[in-house]
Amino acid sequence: MTKSSLALQITHWVARRLPLPIECEFSYHCADPLAVTLIFHPAGEYPVRWVFARELLTEGLTARSGRGEVEIWPVHREGRRSLWVRVGDTRTGHTALFEIPAQPVVQWLGRSYALVPRGREMANVDWDELTQLIL
């Protein structure tokens, strides 16, 4: 297997007191071993795709992680463990905030590390092929 994915229903916090359910999908592919893709599937709209470092997601499980277009941090409240993910341009205020249950993400992330262990992301890169693409 070279790919792992996880589909979830999450919460899009449109405003402080306006949560909307939304579908999302995390995916990881060995061909791009440093990155994860998170696709939001808003009802009746086109999917929105964000690609960011797998390490950013990993760090976001235990502490605030990321700057700029993707930020992730853990939240524990009412006996639930969640990840908050903010995507967008914080300089302009055009951002979206999502609450994602942490446990399924932790399990899925573990599967991604079973595919490509931490520190081995670049071990199978064909550097000759990449050099030919650049030249």
- pLDDT tens figures, 67-80: 889 999 999 988 89
pLDDT tops 80 at residue 135 = no
Q: Taking the CA of residue 123 as centre, how many other CA atoms within 13 Å lie in the half-sphere pointing to its CB?
A: 8
- The pLDDT tens digits for 13-55 are 998 889 999 999 999 998 889 999 999 998 878 999 999 999 9
Q: How many domains does the chain have?
A: 1
pLDDT tops 80 at residue 127 = no
Which residue pairs, CB below 8 angstroms and at least 24 apart, start in 87-95?
A: 87/50
pLDDT top residue among 119 and 40: 40
State residue 130's pLDDT score: 60
pTM, two decimals, is 0.86
Residue type, 33: P
CATH code of the domain covering residue 31: 2.30.31.20
Domain containing 42: what range?
A: 3-134
- The pLDDT tens digits for 57-115 are 999 999 999 988 999 999 998 889 999 999 998 888 889 999 999 999 999 999 999 99
CA–CA–CA angle 83, 85, 89 (5° rounding):
165
